[in-house]
Every structure is written in structure tokens, then in C-alpha cells.
Amino acid sequence: MADGANRPLRADARRNREKILAAAVRMFATQGLDAQMERIAKEAGVGSATLYRNFPTREALVEAVYRDEVARLCEAAPALLAQKPPAEALRAWTRLFLDYVTAKYGMIDALRSIAATGASPYGHSREMIRAALALLMDACAAAGGIRTDIGPADVAAALEGIALTSAGAEHRQRAERLLDLTLDGLTVRP
């Protein structure tokens, strides 16, 4: 839906919006807040007017990118469970979580400045992420693959800790090792 509108977007408008969001993720991840709006429009293959019609300010674009990334991350949980055994789905989802954090890393200053104005770009994102994680962990526990004494809030805290120390792309290998360590610690041992 368009910001502030109650009617669905036309197919071409929806595609343009999605292209803008995808381009913004790439640009913010590599250039942070220095990413120019006009460059994002060009990268998306749309005109500046289209970008500003969808996102009148940089803050509106940053917030939309953030919300879109959270939604994509959370929607991946049931899709992964439909495609993979629970333990593999959980492992794959934690890698997607790293991708999400890496993309958000370039936007962190913008998200902080939005939050400082009293707006809440984070909304229910933490709850959404924990719900997705709970879905995956419940499936793993039902399959007998993980411990049941560790809850989604604990695993989410571990993932956030890994993200804080290893969010940049240059630290991806370390983050992968820490994820493996965390997931191995959840595994039920005979």
C-alpha cells in the first residue's frame, strides 16, 4: 500500500516501489546515509519524481526499507519450514537474519535519528522476529532436534549479540562461526 493510502497500488506502481526499496537496501548497505536519493532512483530504474511520490523524505524511505526488510525476514520462516527440515530451516533463517542486519547496518544512523524524533521505525519488529524464531524453534523442538529449555527470546538475544559484534560484511565469516556455535549449543545431544 502506498504511504497514507487505503487502496492497493497498481501493479506497475507496486513494482516501482519494490525496485526502489531493493535499490535503497543496496545503496544504504554500501554507502550508509551518504546514499543520494537521486542515485537510489537511478539504481532502481525510476525517475526522481516516482521516488519522491512514494517516499517524500529520506526518513520515509529509510523507515519503509527497514519495515520491508523485517517483513521479508519474518515471512521467510514458514517458507523455509515448507522447504527444509526444521533444523536446516532454522540454520538458513539465521543466515537471513545476518543479511538483514548487514543491510540495516548502513541505515543505523538514520534509524536512530528517526527514533529520536519520537517516531518508532522499529514498531513491532522485535516481536515479529521473535514470533518467526519461535515458529522455527517450535518445529525443531517437535522434531526432537533442539533443547526446550532455551526460548526464542534467548536465541534472539544471542543473534542480536552476534549482529552487534559482527554486523559488517567484513565480519561475515566470524558471524557465521558464532551462529554455528549458538545453533550447536541448542542441539539435543544423545
User: Domain map of the chain by residue range?
Assistant: 1-56, 62-186
**Amino acid identity at 98:** L
Q: How far apart are CA 82 and CA 65, in angstroms?
A: 26
What CATH fold (topology level) applies to the domain 1-56? Arc Repressor Mutant, subunit A (1.10.10)
Q: What is the CATH number of domain 62-186?
A: 1.10.357.10
Per residue in 113-134, pLDDT (tens digit) is 666 666 555 567 888 999 999 9
Exposed/middle/buried for residue 45 (C-beta within 10 Å: 0-12, 13-18, 19+): exposed
Calculate the dihedral angle through the C-alpha atoms of 105, 108, 111, 115, rounding to the nearest 10 degrees. 130
Q: Cα 56 to chain center, whole Å? A: 22
C-alpha cell at 73: 525476514
pLDDT in tens, the chain (190 residues): 444 445 666 888 889 999 999 999 888 877 777 789 999 999 999 999 999 999 998 888 988 888 888 999 999 999 999 999 999 999 999 999 988 877 666 666 656 666 666 655 556 788 899 999 999 999 999 999 999 999 999 999 899 888 877 766 678 888 889 999 999 999 987 7
